[in-house]
Amino acid sequence: MTRRLDGRWLMRVAGTLLLAWLAALACERLGTPLPWMIGPLLATAIGCVAGVRLAAAGPLRNAGQWAIGTSLGLYFSPQVLGLLVALAPALLAGVAWALLIGGVFAGVLRRALPGVDPATAHFAAAIGGASEMAVLAERHGGRVDLVAASHSLRVLLVVLVIPFGYQAAGLHGLDTTPLAVQGVQPGGLLLLVLATVAGSLAVWRTGLPNPWVLGSLFVAAALSGSGVQLSALPPEVSHVGQLLIGVALGTRFNRSFLHTAPRWLAAVALGTLAMIAASAVFAWLLAQAAGLHWATVLLGTSPGGIAEMCITAKVLQLGVPVVTAFHVVRYVAVLLLTGPLFRRQQRRLAAAA
């Protein structure tokens, strides 16, 4: 019985990958932005909401995150690392902005939906990873289902709105950064794979979140930043990584998604669009001060996820190391500060009461 169920599940995974691949090819043919991520994301999300039995495998999602983390790390040449040091104030400003709009959005959710408890609103509005915020919400008595739905919908909207908006405005190839290493070397590629996988496993063993992105990213960046040029990744690896991440995002949705707290989903959707618009204004102001292109800064400060926004920067050639640095610094800061900020807020409210 178990083998048969396993076989059925494997067939569902295989069917999901086939659907995702066909969707990627269709989007590529149509000329949509990020076809290898947006095509699988939309196809699987629509299929799951329609009740099609699709499935994503955890190891494949990890492989996709590893591919993206490694490909991003290869941009961090010694010259790029030197430039990023000078951007430290801008990176800290990005952290402050993420905490600010997350806090404002949480307040809006509490006022617009009076029945929502503070923990649910706070962790649903935080600009952090979906799984990490859901765990924190559960720890503080919030509703995990609403928090997870909020982050899934937020990432979906950001992944669709910004790339399509950039394509319509012709914003691509404006802030290119060459890879620290050019060309695929079979022996070097094998060493690169072994080193980055080892790095991801080491981060995973520590219990830190997102190990397959961060571990491979840190190892590849350390090698590139030290001048060690093992090999570039074949373009097909990046395509497969985007496809697997698109599938992982799309299969978060299910048939009951649209029927779960429709007012909550509507408020999250409107709030996400407002955060994108506000982030565009903030990005323009910060870009003037930091001497960067505003389109690059928007990718780094938008309310999107680290993998999705860095993929967008890579495909559209918009300052990959800068966008990656913004998101890595923000990711760590939000993960460390969101819980303590919520507890401090609750203590202050209790004292005032």
**Segment 142-146 long-range contacts (CB within 8 Å, at least 24 positions apart):** 142/117, 143/117, 145/260, 146/116, 146/120, 146/260, 146/261, 146/264
Percent of the chain with pLDDT over 70: 98
pLDDT band at 4 (very low <50, low <70, confident <90, very high): very low
The two three-digit tokens of residue 309, written as one number: 């926004």
Tell me which residue has tokens 């981060």.
203
Residue 250's alpha-carbon distances to 38, 63, 156, 207, 297, in angstroms, are 9, 16, 8, 25, 26
Q: Find all residues with CB under 8 Å of 198, minimum gap 6, and list them.
A: 219
Q: For residues 45, 251, 9 and 67, what is the CA-based torsion angle, rounded to 10 degrees?
A: 120
pLDDT band at 5 (very low <50, low <70, confident <90, very high): low
Residue 105 has what pLDDT? 95
Tell me which residue has tokens 């190391």.
321
Residue 107's alpha-carbon distances to 122, 191, 236, 262, 269, in angstroms, are 8, 49, 44, 19, 15
pLDDT digits (tens, 9 = 90+) for 113-145: 888 899 999 999 999 887 788 888 888 889 888
3-state secondary structure 14-41: HHHHHHHHHHHHHHHHHCCCCHHHHHHH
Q: What rounded mean pLDDT belongs to the chain? A: 89
pLDDT band at 204 (very low <50, low <70, confident <90, very high): very high
Which position has the higher pLDDT, 204 or 258?
Answer: 204
Strand partners, 175: 318
Residue 286's alpha-carbon distances to 256, 281, 292, 294, 305, in angstroms, are 40, 9, 8, 8, 20
Q: How far apart, in whole angstroms, are the C-alpha atoms of residue 97 and residue 313? A: 20
Which position has the higher pLDDT, 282 or 132?
Answer: 282
Residue 335 has what pLDDT? 85
pTM: 0.87
Residue 17 has what pLDDT? 96
Which position has the higher pLDDT, 61 or 257?
Answer: 61
Residue 165 has what pLDDT? 94
Q: Find all residues with CB under 8 Å of 16, minimum gap 6, and list them.
A: 44, 54, 55, 56, 247, 251
Identity at 253, one-letter amino acid code: F
pLDDT band at 76 (very low <50, low <70, confident <90, very high): confident
CA-closest candidate to residue 75, choices 293, 229, 215, 200: 229
User: How far out from the chain centre does Cα 69 lie?
Assistant: 11
pLDDT band at 1 (very low <50, low <70, confident <90, very high): very low
